[in-house]
Amino acid sequence: DSGVTQTPKHLITATGQRVTLRCSPRSGDLSVYWYQQSLDQGLQFLIQYYNGEERAKGNILERFSAQQFPDLHSELNLSSLELGDSALYFCASRQGPGDNEQFFGPGTRLTVL
Amino acid sequence: DQQVKQNSPSLSVQEGRISILNCDYTNSMFDYFLWYKKYPAEGPTFLISISSIKDKNEDGRFTVFLNKSAKHLSLHIVPSQPGDSAVYFCAASAGETSGSRLTFGEGTQLTVNP
């Protein structure tokens, strides 16, 4: 158990819909990262938040957005869903600058039908 | 542009023998490297890491070697156990300027046969 929690574990929805994925980092960790794992793209970095502020962005689609709340939990919002958005979405956390290891949650499997 | 590559999709070894997983990278800005292990339906689990100022790091049965000039790292598992069977991902970080985001390789499926 990494200490990072993600909900829900599975999500099935239809094209065009909007979903929210939630992540709670390890106690004391200020940085939250979101990654997408799809069959053809492997594990890809989406976005990072540190203590409530966006710090880095990867190849995140404009239809996707995220935020980190004062209690440090984070949400990833995916809208206008397409079939190709079906993937595993992982959240990871780390303490902060100077701490290089990231610890991953169990992931949310999103299926878009 | 695949900056981190694991050229072997799979590796099969006998229990008790050495497992060697390889990883190559192209980005000279990477200064920290990590190995993760992943079981199906679970998130990646951190295994071992190495800073670019070192060439070896050891933790129990796991040793990571870094050859900066060749832009190559490897993970050695000795002795291999059936419970080590999983997908192993190599990852690299370019430091705080990039938010310490991780760039992953495609993974290598390790199977340890009893």
pLDDT tens-digit map of B1-44: 789 999 999 999 999 999 999 999 999 999 999 999 999 889 99
pLDDT in tens, B37-68: 999 889 999 999 999 999 999 999 999 999 99
Contact between B72 and B58 under an 8 Å Cβ cutoff? The reply is no
CA distance A7 to A10: 8
Nearest CA in chain B to A40: B106
CB proximity A30 to B under 8 Å: no
Secondary structure (DSSP) of A32-43: EEEEEEETTTEE
CB proximity A87 to B under 8 Å: no
CA distance B47 to B37: 6
pLDDT band for A52, please (50, 70, 90 cuts). Answer: very high
CA distance B59 to B26: 26
CA distance B21 to A31: 29
- Residue B71 gets the label, from left (phi > 0), alpha (psi -120 to 50) or beta, of left
Sequence-separated (6 or more) residues with CB below 8 Å from residue A69: A52, A75
Check CB contact under 8 Å for A42 and B104: yes
Query: H or E segment at A111?
Result: strand A108-112
Q: Which two tokens stand for residue A30?
A: 């200020």
Min mean pLDDT across A103-107, B88-92, B95-99 is at B95-99
List CB contacts (< 8 A) between A50 and chain B. 99
Q: Which two tokens stand for residue A103?
A: 């610890």
**A contact test, residue of B29, B101, B104 with most A CBs within 10 A:** B101
What is the C-alpha R_g of chain B? 14
Q: Residue A2: what residue type?
A: S
Q: What is the mean pLDDT of residues B85-108?
A: 90
CB proximity B31 to A under 8 Å: no
CA distance A10 to A67: 21
What local confidence, expressed as pLDDT, does residue A1 receive? Answer: 83
